Amino acid sequence: SSLISADSVRLLNGSSLCSGRLQVKSNQKWSSVCEADFDLQDAEVVCREFSCGPPSVLQGALYGEVEAPVCSKEFQCEGHESALLDCRSSGSARNSCSPGKAVGLTCSEPVRLVRGASRCAGTLEFNHQGNWRPVSGFGWTLKKAAAFCQHLGCGSVVFVGQRVNSLLGDNVNINPDCVHSGPALKECATLGFSIYNLDLKCSDSVRLLNGSSLCSGRLQVKSNQKWSSVCEADFDLQDAEVVCRELGCGPPSVLQGALYGEVEAPVWSKEFQCEGHESALLDCRSSGSARKSCSPGKAVGLTCSESHVRLMGGASRCAGTLEVKHLEEWRLVHGSDWTLKEAAVVCEHLGCGSAVYVGEREEFPYRFVWEIKPDCVHFQSGQIECAKSTVLSSILDLTCSDPPDPTGFIIRAVILPLILLLENVVLYFYCKASRGRKLGRRENIELVDRNLGVGAAEGGLAEEEGVQGAEENL
């Protein structure tokens, strides 16, 4: 791609509208610029001329080899000029430029953070046609806003939210999906209006690269405008606690070398000596020893735990209004189109049983909440990184079945079998006793019958003898 500004300067073959091989137009001819004739102050002027951010890369042969003719003068900008050809230049002539020495320039995107505690925090503004305008705050997740932190030369993204627009005027609408897909921000920006501006916080000097989430990756520290990997021998668990807190993540869960790629030069040269309570890694003391190399596989790979989740206001810890904690702040959740399938992930994360109910309810007044879509509910890879900060009154209610009661399990597994055994023993003796009583009754009946039979026989004989005696008397 190429960009022509003021009909006198352009960037060729770059990856965006703010990068490429520098060419200058003079006497109707375009000339590449030799690296020896161009410095950082000159680059600042060119980037400003293109309405881009400050220069981030200045290196020869990044965007193709030099083509004749070559600009024959050395630029001597002071850095405040509005165009490169407004700068003074030397009268020396250069007829050629060594291969690989044509200026390749990458300007950062035209964004900045204002009214924040540092240059990496505040309200995001975009330079649209020479005017700085706030960026609309809707639709942004941590994962998508991370691109701005990179453009600003800051570390990892820490927080994204909204701030009420106190100034009347147009905003710049930037499509989050456009930014995340890779083209220059200029190609994603349009003028619009919004009552909320984008509030963003990036870490100043710490970042995690190549991780599976925003809370994991290979640790790098920024010093003197250069990012350095950290050697495992110079870093311990207390240092890791400070980094995780600085990035708005939970406590460290894994600290191991070579988890997220090999070390790349340069390497951080001092040993950190954090006590664990510091708010930023560079606030920690460090040793004066210098390290010039780090063995392969020994660059610090760090995984911090993800955001915290809880259910509040219900009959138990497994029921209530869903809340998510980030940067020590608990915030309610808005989730439309959730089903029991998504709710089941939350229940499992909380150590509860199955999802029984999920639904929305209105709760006034309006407040800042996390908007979490159903396809974003996966705590293993950093659920909060795809949550959007928004202002709504609708919040998510969720009910899980309570987890299995261990006391009940013990009762079912141990006591119930004992009760059954006891019942069997009692039943056995009861049956045995009942059988004995039945046999006794039967014997008594038989004895009575025998006695009755004998009595009847004796009575019959006596009666017969009495009749015979009467007959004899007659």
Find the DSSP H helices in 324-415. 340-350, 406-410
Number of domains in the chain: 5
pLDDT one-digit tens code per residue, 352-381: 999 999 999 998 888 889 999 888 876 554
Task: Verify that 36 and 16 share a domain, yes or no.
Answer: yes
Distance of CA 230 to the CA centre of its chain: 23
Task: Identify which of 211, 199, 219 has the alpha carbon closest to the alpha carbon of residue 142.
Answer: 199
According to the model, what pLDDT value does residue 468 have?
45
Task: Verify that 248 and 322 share a domain, yes or no.
Answer: no
Domain assignment of residue 180, yes or no: yes
Q: Are 17 and 1 in contact (CB under 8 A)?
A: yes
Task: Verify that 250 and 162 share a domain, yes or no.
Answer: no
Task: Verify that 370 and 439 share a domain, yes or no.
Answer: no
Q: Domain range holding 60? A: 3-107
pLDDT-derived band at 329 (thresholds 50, 70, 90) equals: confident
pLDDT one-digit tens code per residue, 109-119: 788 899 998 98
Which residue did the predictor score with more confidence, 168 or 104? Answer: 104
According to the model, what pLDDT value does residue 451 have?
47
pLDDT-derived band at 285 (thresholds 50, 70, 90) equals: very high
Q: Classify 403 in phi/psi space as left (phi over 0), alpha (psi -120 to 50) or beta.
A: beta
pLDDT-derived band at 349 (thresholds 50, 70, 90) equals: confident
Q: E-strand spans in 240-286? A: 252-257, 272-273, 285-286
Q: Is 393 helix (H, G, I), strand (E, B) or coil?
A: strand
Residue 225: CB partners within 8 Å, gap ≥ 6? 153
Mean pLDDT of 263-280: 84
Task: Identify which of 404, 403, 396, 345 has the alpha carbon closest to the alpha carbon of residue 371.
Answer: 396
pLDDT at 220 over 60: yes
pLDDT one-digit tens code per residue, 121-156: 999 999 887 788 999 988 898 988 998 998 888 999
Task: Verify that 57 and 44 share a domain, yes or no.
Answer: yes
Which residue did the predictor score with more confidence, 101 or 431? Answer: 101
Domain assignment of residue 471, yes or no: no
Task: Verify that 81 and 136 share a domain, yes or no.
Answer: no
Mean pLDDT of 29-42: 88
Which residue did the predictor score with more confidence, 6 or 419? Answer: 419
pLDDT at 462 over 50: no
Task: Verify that 357 and 442 share a domain, yes or no.
Answer: no
Mean pLDDT of 270-289: 89
Q: Are 264 and 319 in contact (CB under 8 A)?
A: no
pLDDT at 418 over 70: no
Q: Is 188 helix (H, G, I), strand (E, B) or coil?
A: coil
Q: Are strands 355-371 and 329-334 parallel, antiparallel or unpaired?
A: parallel
pLDDT one-digit tens code per residue, 289-320: 656 677 777 889 999 986 678 999 999 999 99
According to the model, what pLDDT value does residue 419 have?
60
According to the model, what pLDDT value does residue 199 have?
94
According to the model, what pLDDT value does residue 239 have?
96
User: pTM of the predicted model, to two decimals?
Assistant: 0.65
Domain assignment of residue 330, yes or no: yes
pLDDT at 458 over 50: no
Mean pLDDT of 410-430: 57
Q: For 149-164, b where at least 16 C-beta lie within 10 A, e where not — what string?
A: bbbbbbbbbbbbbbbe
Task: Identify which of 9, 189, 30 has the alpha carbon closest to the alpha carbon of residue 82.
Answer: 9
pLDDT at 454 over 70: no
| CATH number assigned to the domain comprising residue 350 | 3.10.250.10
Last residue of a domain, one of 181, 202, 223: 202
Least confident of 134-138, 279-283, 414-418, 463-467: 463-467
Task: Verify that 44 and 99 share a domain, yes or no.
Answer: yes
Question: How many percent of the chain have pLDDT more than 90?
Answer: 28
Mean pLDDT of 207-226: 87
Task: Verify that 9 and 96 share a domain, yes or no.
Answer: yes
According to the model, what pLDDT value does residue 338 have?
93
According to the model, what pLDDT value does residue 43 have?
92
Task: Verify that 63 and 149 share a domain, yes or no.
Answer: no
Mean pLDDT for all residues in the chain: 79
pLDDT at 86 over 70: yes
pLDDT at 5 over 50: no
